[in-house]
Structure 1
């Protein structure tokens, strides 16, 4: 490997198909634990014949986060968690992982960790003042401020009830007893995605209202009630604008906006109501600017909030996600596609935009995975990620089980345990979150899916408890089935 431009930091980059040394050492140690775990269930084999088992969890916002937590707790209580060499997630399931991996060796004390996590979800709160302060920090200090920062601060913090600034590097040496974690993202330049911004046109939504300098006001000088009030109005405005640009129904957000501005004088209130009756893509700029022109009603210092929100909408309009410098820029290596080296920056987005389950990183042949335990937390079709993965694996010549044609009945009322096998492929165990075993008939499954939609306000206590129970049931109802598949795989290895 040679470098086109030498970096001043003289950093080394390893490009190789083999796994890095830390992963090899971690998994080697974990396999010993897995062998002991299977012995507790009366399954005996040599270390050489031990199947490599990976647990993977799909995306699905808070539904996936809470669902994965419940599944892990059940695996822990049934003495099966130590069988898992890897834990891979994407989108909502990584929110659960990120919380767990902040606690050193969490899998050996999961009941206690779960209690703390659950209490934060039920009782925690992040003030808008703190969100705005964090956004301002990101906006002014980061070279690559993007929608990922906005999404984390404004949306994910509402669900996980904290702003998490921890790093993977800080956790690297703290998890010798835990499954090896894999967090999945999508490289936008390597995939030909249909941008969700396709329905959005170029908008200077904030116009002159957001032209002042970001540093003109100290956000901490604003009173908490005042910041909360202004913040809610502006965030509602952002969400309303996106709905209109995507040609979705904005009526609920319009009503929320009108209600939140109830103390306007009569003339302004009547104008707002009149403009709100016919909001569309043609007049959304005018409508947004009118709302912003009312900022003097809140406080002149709210111009800072307008500036940040204006930048947020600009990034949404251009669909600019997780931008970071490409450390491979201008390098040369035969093992890597030349296109990787051409871009000074790379953009990474939620992997749920394409295949909503992290099969592909686990199918890397160097990881030698024998059993994939797939937990599906999708909102509607629990087989979509399987079918997409099979199609991509066929295209890339990767061994993956053939997925038989799935009936509409199975999609709307799935069973709680599916096994897919192929001659050279890893065995895939697939468990849909809501199924006929833990919910009942098709109508009950429909009700549960409707109750836990992907985009909705954070769950209350009861919803968290009920979802944890459903996810735990899926594991506890299938403990013997899991062990049977493991035994069969060992026999095949022999």
Structure 2
């Protein structure tokens, strides 16, 4: 076939624009108008006849509404429905009359309908339209947004940091033996970052926190981030508003009892009945129920004696006086027909807010799961219990074939050749000078039916957590590609296609972050948090350096300040218990603690050797994928639980000097 060209001529004309108020940052939010439609039942000829009126307004929050009048309603009552749409957007209202092939339309382009009706102004400055059957009333909508646009920290977190710095300053003075009090601007921000790995990571994190508490370093920490199963540890601890001020051996003992007991009770008839009741109730509340909700209930049953009623926003009580570090839970938003490598968006959860790192858009934690349009809360849905969020954060059922290929260390290029369309840049020699924020022009050649089917098979995920998209209706600013914060987290193949990014979707699809990179570091590295030291606690299975290597590469590609993490081949083959990485003053000091069993084999405590009878307690197989600490295991023996707990505690206690040295470096940098 010959290659053909189609020449198209565009004529640029001026259109009459209407002035409107915009709330803009990276996203633009426009004013909303509210259209109420009232159908008067009193004029119904036959009271025994039911009439269904279907109204449609494309681009509105509701899209389509049905008003029914007749025997299903009390005689004399009226049917009313409402549409919310962008003010001055010139929408079209379509109405289908009951059982009639009659089409009626109203165009709001000039404020006049296409069909004969009268418009008049009422005393309340609300426009109404009188028709024979429906009545249309135009109402002003609230101009204030119910979400927050901007990359700055929310006021609540800023207040927390001010309070926490006082606790941190006192703790640093004690552990570093500083003679003078630290001023507020001299107090470094220290964060603990964890990785996932099932019950292994949950148990290991408890051992690490116990050791940090014994060293007096736990009070030096301002943030703790987690993903996957380390979120179980965090959610469990934050049920107590003063957990870090108490001896952690208490909650550790409680979790130990849950880990060592059989999980068969979670499948009892009583539990199955309870699961069904909870899922039905959740559906009634307005949530979109999925298998991950059942997984969340299973986690709740696995770690509690009775159902937990805690919610994410309840954890604010644990932060009111700055008495604990601020917890950050991490997930990623994905898209259908795209692998996680090709499309993912970091989503952080704190007791204050839930939001996107890339877009700088956040909603209150108690509003997450509710329905939004153009930044306004349209339908309030009760906040989820935290067990359902735990099911989302640790969704082990969300991996696709392409994700498995990536995690195995192989390239996706081979599969892309057969599943992705071809794009060719046609702006090699543009006729006009290119503006910085303008996007390149490509010609896209989509794949055929067979390739699309293969793509769906390769990228399909068994289960994802689905929540209403709180960005729905918002529009990206036309210069969004010039925004530094957006570019920092711009890691999708659709980054230059604004119409295909997340704000257009009705729902978020959240999965476990570990299926991309087993790290919870991204929210810690937000420039606004100004973190000076990161304690990288690695609990992953298999290669201990892979998560660090992948994230270091990610930071390098995206220009995110992060220290060089080069390790010699000798170190990679025989990892030490602790490494400290620091180079640029712009990057935080990184203290890296892999999950290894090194000197613990001979020492039960720093400088305390094991006796011959204690040598068995030092043999902890954390490197074998099929060992007693494999990621898929949900039950440990008490001996293995204690071994892993003691190992992780020892590795921190034995490297006290390096940890305190990193804190000292951060203090000196601040001065």
Q: So what's the TM-score if we normalise by structure 1?
A: 0.69
CA shift in 2, pair 1:325/1:134, >3 Å: farther
CA shift in 2, pair 1:153/1:131, >3 Å: farther
SS, match of residue 451 in structure 1 = coil
1:184 paired residue number? 330
Once the two structures are superposed, the pairs formed by residues 22-421 of structure 1 within 5 Å of their partners are 22-41=156-175, 42-43=177-178, 44=180, 45-111=182-248, 112-122=250-260, 126-128=265-267, 129-140=269-280, 141-142=282-283, 143-154=287-298, 157-158=301-302, 164-175=308-319, 176=321, 177-189=323-335, 192-193=339-340, 318-334=461-477, 338=498, 339-405=501-567, 407=569, 409-421=570-582
The answer to whether the 8 Å contact 1:138/1:145 transfers is: no
Larger Rg: 2
SS, match of residue 66 in structure 1 = helix
- 1:295-321, Cα deviation, whole Å (9 max, x unpaired): xxxxxxxxxxxxxxxxxxxxx985231
Q: Which of 600, 613, 637 is the matching residue for 1:438?
A: 600
Shift in Å at residue 437 of structure 1?
2.5
Q: So what's the TM-score if we normalise by structure 2?
A: 0.52
- 1:401-449, Cα deviation, whole Å (9 max, x unpaired): 1121553x534531011111121211110001223232479x9665664
Alignment of 1:15 with 2:149, yes or no, is yes
Give unmatched runs, 5+ long, in structure 1: 196-238, 248-315
SS, match of residue 149 in structure 2 = coil
Q: In structure 2, how many angstroms separate the alpha carbons of the residues matched to 1:366 and 1:23?
A: 11
- 1:35-54, Cα deviation, whole Å (9 max, x unpaired): 10011120354331221100
Shift in Å at residue 464 of structure 1?
1.2
SS, match of residue 329 in structure 2 = strand
The CA RMSD over aligned residues, in Å, is: 3.3
Q: In structure 1, how many angstroms separate the alpha carbons of the residues matched to 2:568 and 2:631?
A: 23
Shift in Å at residue 193 of structure 1?
1.6
Q: In structure 2, how many angstroms separate the alpha carbons of the residues matched to 1:127 and 1:395?
A: 44
CA shift in 2, pair 1:422/1:186, >3 Å: same
- 1:49-90, Cα deviation, whole Å (9 max, x unpaired): 221100111101101101111111111122110000001111
Flag the structure with higher strand content.
2
SS, match of residue 387 in structure 1 = helix
1:429 paired residue number? 591
1:482 paired residue number? 659
Shift in Å at residue 451 of structure 1?
2.5
The answer to whether the 8 Å contact 1:34/1:82 transfers is: yes
Shift in Å at residue 120 of structure 1?
3.9
CA shift in 2, pair 1:46/1:11, >3 Å: closer
Q: Which moved more, 1:358-367 or 1:185-194?
A: 185-194
The answer to whether the 8 Å contact 2:466/2:507 transfers is: yes
Give unmatched runs, 5+ long, in structure 2: 1-22, 24-28, 33-60, 62-83, 86-140, 343-395, 405-458, 481-485, 487-494, 604-617
Shift in Å at residue 487 of structure 1?
1.1
1:261 paired residue number? none
Q: In structure 2, how many angstroms separate the alpha carbons of the residues matched to 1:379 and 1:68?
A: 14
The answer to whether the 8 Å contact 1:67/1:468 transfers is: yes
Flag the structure with higher helix content.
1
Q: Which moved more, 1:338-347 or 1:327-336?
A: 327-336
The answer to whether the 8 Å contact 1:59/1:378 transfers is: yes
1:472 paired residue number? 649
Q: In structure 2, how many angstroms separate the alpha carbons of the residues matched to 1:170 and 1:124?
A: 30
The answer to whether the 8 Å contact 2:260/2:637 transfers is: yes
Shift in Å at residue 322 of structure 1?
1.2
Shift in Å at residue 474 of structure 1?
1.3
The answer to whether the 8 Å contact 1:124/1:161 transfers is: no
- 1:261-319, Cα deviation, whole Å (9 max, x unpaired): xxxxxxxxxxxxxxxxxxxxxxxxxxxxxxxxxxxxxxxxxxxxxxxxxxxxxxx9852
